[in-house]
Amino acid sequence: MKHTISVLVENKFGVLARIAGLFSGRGYNIDSLSVAETMDPSVSQMTIVAQGEDRIIEQITKQLNKLVDVIKVQDYAGEEYIERELVLVKTHTTSETRAEVMQIVGIFRGKIVDVDRASVTVELTGTEDKIDALLNLLKPFGIRELVRTGKIAIAR
């Protein structure tokens, strides 16, 4: 099962490494990781997405709570939450295909952030499914470059 875990931590050197070590020590990969300061610059918010058995993720969550620099841990599995991800994708275009690409982007309420003779760069924010759907429609045009953030989430 996929788990989205929110971790509020003190903004100190080495915290990220210790948290990542808990996952790797159990043999679990972190699928997505996003970290940024909160309104308080001494505190950071981490959003971690990992797949694993519920009981193992529960163990990791309990161990996270024991770390000195961890303030709060919340696993959103089974709870209502809002999630978003950001993607920047540069796709091949020609003068003939540019309008079609722009129309697809418009349907997804994306934003064209750069255009040149041979490509269009698109910005889209949304759920993982929305971003995957856009990417599937842009693949036939040829994706030159893709940058995707980790998921961020907040409880409802």
Question: What is the spatial distance between Cα 12 and Cα 4, in angstroms, rounded to a whole number?
Answer: 22
Residue-level pLDDT at 28: 81
pTM: 0.84
DSSP 52: -
Residue-level pLDDT at 55: 86
- Are 6 and 73 in contact by the 8 Å Cβ rule? The answer is yes
Residue-level pLDDT at 89: 98
SS3 148: strand
Question: What is the spatial distance between Cα 35 and Cα 150, in angstroms, rounded to a whole number?
Answer: 9
DSSP 149: P
β-pair partners for 120: 91, 115
Residue-level pLDDT at 51: 86
Question: What is the spatial distance between Cα 92 and Cα 105, in angstroms, rounded to a whole number?
Answer: 14
Residue-level pLDDT at 68: 87
Residues in the chain predicted with pLDDT less than 70, given as ranges, are: none
State pLDDT tens for residues 107-127: 999 999 999 999 999 999 999
